[in-house]
Chains A and B, each alone.
Chain A
Amino acid sequence: MSKAVVELPPKGGFNFDLCRRNEMLLKKGASPPSFRKTGTTIVGLIYQEGVILGADTRATAGSIVCDKNCEKIHYMAPNIYCCGAGTAADTEAVTDMVSSQLQLHRYHTSRESRVATALTLLKSHLFNYQGYVQAALVLGGVDVTGPHLHMIYPHGSTDALPFATMGSGSLAAMAVFESKYCEGLNKEEGINLVCEAICAGIFNDLGSGSNVDICVITKGHKEYLRNYRVPNTRAHFSSKEFTFPKKTEVLLTKIVPLREKIEVTEDGDAMEE
């Protein structure tokens, strides 16, 4: 009797099928590729009316800058945003996953999401994978219980603070916060302070760079200021543009016209009975 084994599609989560082969390749001397990291400076602070989050916009692969304007402030819920540092794929995947879980939870409970819910979902996922999912996050939001700001480390531990910094540029940004932060800042002072802290990271840390993104969250309202400050515009434009008068040598050209999309109209003749 032949056994018909139908392979079921995977039910989500991680798939470890290629691990054995990759181990074998590693033993034979093929080193694994470097993943895209967001070197980063990410900060958050609590001000009079809510929370302000800030991040730089550089993504690196080894020592090469692969993205000069990436987004590190991820949407979690209408009143909660999360900045991510560490391996880019991990921060994106984990924030996307928890954002979906929060949406389902909102449908289930018919209530606005709470920051503590997002915090617990993130920290339990990260602890589950014992730090192998390398995402260091700054989570901030305003819910019914007030403004909250948390730091989440890759191994799953968390801190609740009035101001927080993470990433390779965290020391530069923390220096700015420690000297200039005080309670009860107004919106303009808060934004300026966050901007200054991120700029300290951009100019002094090599893993951070490009522009400053800011997100201001208050009760019932949020403002996502993408590229709030652009301190590093390209200054070295050459007046002589590249032109290629001697054309590239082509061996073969194949032109495929794309099919036109046919519009189907309704006023055809009705079928005869």
Chain B
Amino acid sequence: MSIFEYNGSALVAMVGKNCFAIASDRRLGVQLQTIATDFQRISKIHDRLFLGLSGLATDAQTLYQRLVFRHKLYQLREERDMKPETFANLVSAILYEKRFGPYFCQPVIAGLGDEDKPFICTMDSIGAKELAKDFVVAGTASESLYGACESMFKEDMEPEELFETVSQALLSSVDRDCLSGWGGHVYVVTPTEVKERILKGRMD
């Protein structure tokens, strides 16, 4: 059993026209037993930057706390929020520091950068960044997510269409993975608002 399959997770982030969507499943399990169906995998770092952490839930929580700490220090020093590209470099450095004893997490970072340009990025557990222009996936359902996103993705989608695409891709992929699912949690972020929606999915 891989350490990533201990808790189970599914995360996806997609780019639209001046907006982005980041979505996760809601299951928290201990191997094959489900212990929570409302687990929050995506956290807000600041108004225009979201972080999703897949993999071992304990490492995800510890890593999230460390990153919030570093971001708050940055805010105090620089008197502004961190840009998504800078944040991605910070996460990469923190993960690489533990190269020989890593955190068992795969982060997905999504944010709006300068001039409201959407930025998405994922990394492996030791901080190798993958900057994509269309979508990034992580978690136990990642193989199905790759397939679903690859076929459903279109360039320059408006927020409503982006929401539909991300939701359908997420729900269809977690249906093919035992360890993730039990609904979905989708954030669609545009320059003016953040829409958070909870999806109804198969509860098995």
Stretch from A41-49, A86-94, A191-199 forming part of the interface with B: A86-94
Name the B residues within 8 Å of A256 (CB-CB).
Answer: 193-196
Name the A residues within 8 Å of B103 (CB-CB).
Answer: 18
Between A and B, 9 residue pairs with Cβ closer than 8 Å are A18-B103, A25-B3, A36-B128, A66-B130, A248-B199, A250-B197, A250-B198, A256-B194, A258-B193
Per the bound structure, the CA–CA distance linking A250 and B164 in Å amounts to 11
Per the bound structure, the CA–CA distance linking A66 and B124 in Å amounts to 10
Name the B residues within 8 Å of A36 (CB-CB).
Answer: 124, 128, 130
The residue that A241 contacts in the complex, of B106, B123, B127, B154, with Cβ under 8 A, is B154
Interface contact B1-A254, CB-CB below 8 Å = no
Q: Is the CB of B98 closer than 8 A to any CB of chain A?
A: yes
Stretch from A8-16, A106-114, A143-151, A158-166 forming part of the interface with B: A8-16
Q: Is the CB of B39 closer than 8 A to any CB of chain A?
A: no
Q: Give chain A nearest CB distance to B29 CB in angstroms.
A: 14
Interface contact B164-A67, CB-CB below 8 Å = no
Q: Give chain A nearest CB distance to B127 CB in angstroms.
A: 5
Q: Is the CB of B8 closer than 8 A to any CB of chain A?
A: no
Per the bound structure, the CA–CA distance linking A20 and B127 in Å amounts to 20
Q: Is the CB of B17 closer than 8 A to any CB of chain A?
A: no
A-B contact count (CB 8 A): 138
Interface contact A33-B98, CB-CB below 8 Å = no
Chain B facing A: main interface SS: mixed
Per the bound structure, the CA–CA distance linking A21 and B199 in Å amounts to 36
Interface contact A253-B130, CB-CB below 8 Å = no
Interface size class of B (residues with CB under 8 A): 35 or more
Q: Is the CB of B179 closer than 8 A to any CB of chain A?
A: no
Per the bound structure, the CA–CA distance linking A32 and B5 in Å amounts to 11
Name the B residues within 8 Å of A20 (CB-CB).
Answer: 101
The proximity string for B residues 113-151 relative to A, scoring 1 for CB distances below 8 Å and 0 otherwise, is 000000000011111111010000000001100100001
Within 8 A of A (CB), among B39-64: 47-48, 55
Q: Give chain B nearest CB distance to A7 CB in angstroms.
A: 13
Interface size class of A (residues with CB under 8 A): 35 or more
B58's nearest neighbour on chain A, judged by CB, is A21
Interface contact A61-B124, CB-CB below 8 Å = yes
Within 8 A of B (CB), among A1-57: 10, 13-22, 25, 29-33, 35-36
Q: Give chain A nearest CB distance to B61 CB in angstroms.
A: 14
A132's nearest neighbour on chain B, judged by CB, is B100
The residue that B128 contacts in the complex, of A18, A87, A132, A250, with Cβ under 8 A, is A87
Within 8 A of B (CB), among A223-262: 238, 241-242, 244, 247-259
Q: Is the CB of A264 closer than 8 A to any CB of chain B?
A: no
Q: Is the CB of B192 closer than 8 A to any CB of chain A?
A: yes
Q: With a 10 A CB-CB cut-off, give which of A14, A33, A92, A259 has the most chain B CB atoms.
A: A33
Interface contact A67-B130, CB-CB below 8 Å = yes
Per the bound structure, the CA–CA distance linking A29 and B101 in Å amounts to 16
Say whether, besides A35-B124, A88-B124, A92-B128, A248 and B101 are in contact (CB < 8 Å): no
The 3 closest A-B pairs by CB, nearest first: A19-B101, A88-B128, A89-B128
